[in-house]
Amino acid sequence: MNNKLHVAIYGASGYAGYELYKILKKHKEVEIDYITAESSAGKMLSEIFPVTDDVRIVRNEDVKIDRLDAVFLSLPHGAAKSAVEKITSSSTRTKIIDLSADYRFDDPDEYEKWYGQKHTSPDFLDDFVYGLTEINRQAISKAQFVANPGCYPTATILGVYPLLKKKLIDISKPIIIDAKSGVTGAGRKAEVRLLFAEANENISPYNIGYIHRHTGEIEQELKKIANANPKIIFSPHLVPITRGMLNTIYTKLNNDVATRELTELFDKAYQGETFVKVLKDDSIATIQHTVNTNLCVISVKRVENSPYAIIVSSIDNLVKGAAGQAVQNFNVMFGINESESLI
Amino acid sequence: MNNKLHVAIYGASGYAGYELYKILKKHKEVEIDYITAESSAGKMLSEIFPVTDDVRIVRNEDVKIDRLDAVFLSLPHGAAKSAVEKITSSSTRTKIIDLSADYRFDDPDEYEKWYGQKHTSPDFLDDFVYGLTEINRQAISKAQFVANPGCYPTATILGVYPLLKKKLIDISKPIIIDAKSGVTGAGRKAEVRLLFAEANENISPYNIGYIHRHTGEIEQELKKIANANPKIIFSPHLVPITRGMLNTIYTKLNNDVATRELTELFDKAYQGETFVKVLKDDSIATIQHTVNTNLCVISVKRVENSPYAIIVSSIDNLVKGAAGQAVQNFNVMFGINESESLI
Amino acid sequence: MNNKLHVAIYGASGYAGYELYKILKKHKEVEIDYITAESSAGKMLSEIFPVTDDVRIVRNEDVKIDRLDAVFLSLPHGAAKSAVEKITSSSTRTKIIDLSADYRFDDPDEYEKWYGQKHTSPDFLDDFVYGLTEINRQAISKAQFVANPGCYPTATILGVYPLLKKKLIDISKPIIIDAKSGVTGAGRKAEVRLLFAEANENISPYNIGYIHRHTGEIEQELKKIANANPKIIFSPHLVPITRGMLNTIYTKLNNDVATRELTELFDKAYQGETFVKVLKDDSIATIQHTVNTNLCVISVKRVENSPYAIIVSSIDNLVKGAAGQAVQNFNVMFGINESESLI
Amino acid sequence: MNNKLHVAIYGASGYAGYELYKILKKHKEVEIDYITAESSAGKMLSEIFPVTDDVRIVRNEDVKIDRLDAVFLSLPHGAAKSAVEKITSSSTRTKIIDLSADYRFDDPDEYEKWYGQKHTSPDFLDDFVYGLTEINRQAISKAQFVANPGCYPTATILGVYPLLKKKLIDISKPIIIDAKSGVTGAGRKAEVRLLFAEANENISPYNIGYIHRHTGEIEQELKKIANANPKIIFSPHLVPITRGMLNTIYTKLNNDVATRELTELFDKAYQGETFVKVLKDDSIATIQHTVNTNLCVISVKRVENSPYAIIVSSIDNLVKGAAGQAVQNFNVMFGINESESLI
């Protein structure tokens, strides 16, 4: 074993897991000891993805956990809980970055409400820090366990944070989030609705209103920022792009603030941040601003003759919305340059 | 000359004009005497579009107007005005269906405000009926001139009409329309932003808030329906599909109405309509519900624990949003079966 | 029961079956009595496809076969054999158009070789006419049973037929077919390789050389046309389009024939054909020439300073390559206008 | 000025120029002093591409050439010649990597034949080394001027090189190259055929046979490798993907060589090469094997019962087919690790 940080990626046969593999392979301080995938164990990675790397996939049980500095969990909701329980019982020092929703909620009842299953290790919930790096950097730097945010929550929370923090939003009105996501956001599942012939030349709203699972996660975090109870309406749409996510957010302002002032406010809120960029003037964020990057690009404008503002927030769902932010958190947790392997 | 209705299509080298050609070619009562396109005059249609039809494109000035029963104008805004002025001075009987915005406004000042040019024939504005067939069928049946609605207005107005008519919308709050349009909506223009390499794998909001030209048209028509002044926020997005349009509309209700009641209200409002379909229960409208058809497919739902409703309205921007509705209006104007060549 | 021809569509939950439904619904002489799909029986069609039609899907066993004039089979290979055996034992008059490969081969051993299963009703093979309409129209008009050709064979055979018939091809050299197919060609199966996120922004050659199942079918038919044994090399590629197929065919000519002469030869061979169009001069066939139509569009050119010709042949895999040609054959079998419901 | 190598990118507003910018920005030994684009001079890069970088575009004439270690020319054919003439007259030490075709030909008459313009600086042709790195590495390492290969030639030559070198190809028969290219291959030009609405859901063969400009370049290089005169047939197809290129190559073998032996031959030929990967066994190269990488991924198979082999060769047209290979050559020319900023 060398001086590098030794890590495992659980669930490397999914899109986020594979993205983790690609990012961590370039990481100067990291050695990937294991990549796992229960259903593909024994296969080479090149049998799953169009790559030329000679790497074999193993089972979770093949991992020698005590040798590892960190484990990235890119498992389905529910499966992450079991993995966390096993890892923590095998090694007290190994850090965990969990990309599932299993430890994102503070309250196990909220988890049960949105995910339809009882939480089996609620005691751990307190030990997990919600890993929205720009907002919780301090706590993440000291955390052993990080719950990496969902993709929609990442784009949404970063989009409204500066306004909510400054109490500029009229929270008596719902914050309306019309979200558009690429197809990798739904995971690498052989479902008819995700077939090329179904998703191409189509746009499908799904779970609109107040029923998508990320709704609860967004509300929990906005509450903490606002120190109040903002209501949200959240409408995701499946669009025919492979990766990328664009949230168009409509919100009523408390004060009379012009577009220029709003932009300055956002600029200030994200000053010094490598991975959040606020567009100037009349530019509007698009998917292509962020695809294949760890950036969240945001534009904000005041609607003409109206107290409403429109914020457009763009991320790559697999990078800042999943694997990239996971590595960003890993870097913070281990005191490494935050943008290592992410630029 | 035979017993058929003789028509000309002005502007057949654009996407809507070509769609008109394809629909009218199948029309049992129609003979297409001319297709025009100034810049492509003299060419065969097959040099412009991948078709095998042997049809030659001519100039507008080559058209013998007095022989024609109807002219379809699929010209850029501004150019339609000149064409209307010439046609009406050449023939008093020829009917006109204008697909441009030139005669959609009641008030020439509104036209000037949104289109940035003075109206040169404001006297004609009164003679043009706004051609949203389902709402103005009676007037259209008697009209000599019809101003065919824009694509965004068609999807939006049909989407809110039943609620607005019944005064169920709280018009003290803005009606928020988050619209997604395929690339043909921008026309057949050689612009960099419309290149495959730019539009693919991208989503671009543009003219969001209260600045897109269709905003004025939508407000004018909603005013008439509501007999009041509803405010709208309108945010179009360019999405990587060739054709299709999906409007997600957020509106605050006045009353406490459940999803089932809303659906029934819509059903009733559009009872007997061939080209408006209301989805049942939990189904949500998608682009694929309407692509290549003259349908407007609508779903409506009440947001859980909230006074807001979300209406999703889908049309094919080139059919119900342009050429199809133009032929629907033509059928009404000439007393032909309304769905001839449209099913 | 009315005067119409009563039909059933078996396998209406697949792409070709659904296309059959859409075409036959418009057919003036046809009443669709049943649509079947074993796995979706009991559901409404609108639960499977984004349509607004109120039609219920039933099981094959629910069909009263003796009332039917014709059955369209759009079933997987193998399943069609069982269906044919049942239908023929229930009704002696019902005509069958089978879209599977089960009855395309003259020789049951060839079927077994390419499809890996023994033929259970080889005696029927002689009763099925190979349904490439333009070539076997006479026989189809008298047939009770038609085996509808595969999509690749349709485009390939129509592409080389005029040259092969006139013995202009040097059959000592392989005819090389580089084929590109849209994703619906693979059927409506929940397979990972067909997911949007896998097929988009990708091109995947598969079963290239001499192993794809359609290779045998193409060779059998070319043999009959050539009265000799031409060899083929056949390389299909999956491309990110929903529908459409383009075959680029490379073949060595026997004689010194210029492009113009080749085009004339093709023109003559397909004179009077509604659904085969030969492009002139320098035009080259593209997918957009045929998408959503029953056309096969062909271009042919002699390579500069070379004895080779390149034929490009385009069809819509779901129309001329499946459902459209099936209805074309149905029309021929029942003496109806061949293009009814196809234009 | 620091210790880094100072470079300029001419033509940064095109896709290849922008790709150069993105790659060189990450290069540890490089400082980009200028990016130029005549038509966009004075604008920020972020006004052209969806980036957040604060970089201003200048004119070619604003560049202080004598300070530069190297210039990358990503200009249209013809324009590169003028630039080369100016640069060489301003500085004798500045190295040039030219991505245009202007200096790829050994013989000015061949240039004139394929590009339709007289060569204005034919004396320079001898000074430019053809920059297919894997084949000409030695000469490139000593060159001051490199003519970076075209995208189709790169994929084709790497695909047939091992067979041609070993004289395994029967060059009495044409080598048939059926090539498929993403839309960025055509450049960032506002042309109707490149619009999303035209290119999407389409495949368009163009300049097929023996007329595409890259045909001459491919033949020149294959001649040198074969020490003979192989003939080629080259048929490019525009496919609806943003980036990527796949060449399917059909060639008759001289000897009886099995697939396994062919693969071993290719493995050996490219042993130690970082950017050429040969797939094993039954794997076939796809676009996704190489997109966003500098790799050329190749698969080779012998057709069953036939003396023909099929080679599939995949590159990203903007990386190994343009900017990536340019930087690879730059690294070789300056003695830097060949994969710096390319992995």
Task: Work out the pLDDT band at D209, boundaries 50, 70, 90.
Answer: very high
What is the residue range of A267's domain?
152-316
Q: What is the mean pLDDT of chain C?
A: 97
- Same domain, yes or no, for A180 and A288? yes
Buried b (16+ CB within 10 A) or exposed e, C12-36: bbbbbbbbbbebbeebebbebbbbb
B130 and B272 part of one domain: no
Nearest one of C121, C187, C176, C124 to C151, comparing CA atoms: C187
pLDDT at B282: 84
Alpha carbon distance A69, A23 (integer Å): 17
Residues 6+ apart with CB under 8 A from A277: A270, A289, A295, A296, A297, A298, D52
Is C185 a domain residue? yes
pLDDT digits (tens, 9 = 90+) for C134-160: 999 999 999 999 999 999 999 999 999
For C279-310, the pLDDT digits (tens) are 997 899 999 999 999 999 999 999 999 999 99
A228 found inside a domain: yes
Q: What are phi and psi of A292, to 5 degrees?
A: 65, 15
State the smallest CA–CA distance between residue B252 and chain D in angstroms.
35
How many CB atoms sit inside 10 A of residue A117's CB?
A: 12
Within a domain: D340: no
Q: Is residue A28 part of a domain?
A: yes
pLDDT, mean of residues C262-273: 98
Confidence band of B321 (pLDDT split at 50, 70, 90)? very high
Residue stretches of chain A with pLDDT short of 50: none
pLDDT of the residue at D282:
84
Residue from B325, B296, B323, B338 nearest B141 by CA: B338
- Judge contact between C121 and C84, C-beta under 8 A: yes
Q: Alpha-carbon distance D239 to B20, whole Å?
A: 28
The pLDDT, as a whole number, for residue B1 is: 53
The answer to whether the CB atoms of B194 and D199 lie below 8 A apart is no
The tokens for B163 are: 């609620």
Q: What pLDDT was estimated at residue C282?
A: 84
> Rounded to a whole number, what is the distance in Å from the CA of D204 to chain C's nearest CA?
5
Give the CATH number, domain containing residue D203: 3.30.360.10
Co-location of A188 and A49 in the same domain: no
Residues B124 and B144 in one domain: yes
At A108-149, the pLDDT tens digits run 999 999 999 999 999 999 999 999 999 999 999 999 999 999
Q: Is A233 on the interface with B (CB under 8 A)?
A: yes
User: Is there a contact between B297 and B277 (Cβ–Cβ < 8 Å)?
Assistant: yes
Judge contact between B10 and B71, C-beta under 8 A.
yes
A203:B180 CB<8 A: yes
- Please report the pLDDT score of residue A1 as a whole number: 53
- For residues A97 and A166, membership in a common domain is answered with no
Inform me whether the C-beta atom of residue B240 falls under 8 Å from chain D C-beta atoms. yes
Question: From the CA of B160, how many Å to the nearest CA of chain C?
Answer: 20
- In angstroms, the Cα distances linking B191 to A59, B187, D243 are 51, 10, 19
In sequence order, the 6+-apart residues with CB closer than 8 A to the CB of C261 are none
Could you tell me if D102 and D189 lie in one domain?
Answer: no
User: Which residue pairs from C278-285 have beta carbons closer than 8 angstroms and sit at least 24 positions apart in sequence?
Assistant: C279/B52, C283/B46, C284/C312, C284/D204, C284/D205, C284/D206, C284/D208, C285/C246, C285/C312, C285/C313, C285/C314, C285/D205
Strands of the sheet with C30-36, listed across from one edge = C30-36, C5-10, C70-73, C95-98, C145-147, C128-130
pLDDT beyond 80 at D170: yes
User: What is the Cα–Cα distance from D238 to D189, expressed in whole angstroms?
Assistant: 15
Same domain, C229 and C286: yes
Determine whether A11 is exposed, middle or buried from the number of CB atoms within 10 Å of its CB (0-12, 13-18, 19+): buried
In a domain, C239, yes or no: yes
CB-based burial label for B204 (10 Å; 0-12, 13-18, 19+):
buried
Neighbours of B110 (CB within 10 A): 17
Listed residue (C16, C71, C25, C32) closest to C320, CA to CA:
C16
Does ipTM exceed 0.90? yes
CB B139 within 8 A of CB B129: yes
pLDDT at D213: 96
Is residue A340, in this structure, part of any structural domain at all? no
Beta-carbon contacts of residue C224 (< 8 Å; ≥ 6 apart): none
Q: How far apart are CA C192 and CA B92, in angstroms?
A: 62
Chains contacting C (3 or more CB pairs within 8 Å):
A, B, D
The answer to whether residues B258 and B302 touch, using CB atoms and an 8 Å cutoff, is yes
CB-based contacts of A320, cutoff 8 Å, min separation 6: A154, A155, A275, A290, A293, A294, A295, A296
What residues in B contact D199, CB-CB < 8 Å?
196
Residues forming a β-bridge with A72: A9, A97
What is the C-alpha to C-alpha distance for residues A309 and A257, in angstroms, rounded to an integer?
9
- Contact residues on chain B for A205, CB-CB shorter than 8 A: 246, 248, 284-286, 312
Predicted confidence (pLDDT) per residue in D282-305, tens digit: 899 999 999 999 999 999 999 999
Q: What is the pLDDT of residue D1?
A: 53
Residue C1 pLDDT exceeds 60: no
Kindly state whether A199 is in contact with chain C, defined as any CB-CB distance less than 8 angstroms.
yes
Name every residue whose Cβ is closer than 8 Å to that of residue B193 and which is 6 or more positions away in sequence: B199, B204, B238
Tell me if B172 is assigned to some domain. yes
Token pair in block for residue D53: 């970088």
Contacts 24+ apart (CB under 8 A), A271-274: A273/A134, A274/A338, A274/A339, A274/A343
Q: Which residues contact A260 (CB under 8 A, 6 or more apart)?
A: none
| Structural domain count of chain D | 2
Residue A18: the pLDDT is 97
Over pLDDT 70: what percentage of chain D?
99
A287 CB within 8 Å of a chain B CB:
yes
Q: Which two tokens stand for residue A286?
A: 């698009």
Residues C194 and C295 in one domain: yes
Question: Cα–Cα distance between A133 and A156 in angstroms, integer?
Answer: 14
Residues A109 and A81 in one domain: yes
Tell me, yes or no, whether D264 and D302 share the same domain: yes
**C-alpha atoms less than 13 angstroms from C-alpha of D280 in its C-beta half-sphere:** 7
* % chain B with pLDDT above 90: 97
Examine the domain organization and report whether D263 and D329 are in the same domain: no
Annotated catalytic residue A151: yes
Establish if D325 touches chain B: CB-CB under 8 angstroms.
no
d(CA B103, CA B130): 8
* Contacts (Cβ under 8 Å, ≥6 apart) of B261: none
Q: Where are the alpha helices (DSSP H) in chain D?
A: 15-25, 79-90, 108-115, 133-142, 151-165, 196-199, 214-226, 259-269, 324-333
D188 DSSP 8-state letter: S
For residues C49 and C56, what is the distance between their CA atoms, to the nearest angstrom? 12
Please check whether residue C339 lies inside any domain of the structure: no
Instruction: Give the pLDDT confidence score for residue A283 in this predicted structure.
Output: 95
Find the CATH number of the domain harbouring C15: 3.40.50.720
Number of neighbouring beta carbons within 10 Å of residue D118: 10
Q: What is the DSSP string of D104-161?
A: T-SSHHHHHHHHSS--S-GGGGGGEEE--HHHHHHHHHH-SEEEPPPHHHHHHHHHHH
C84 and C159 housed in the same domain: no
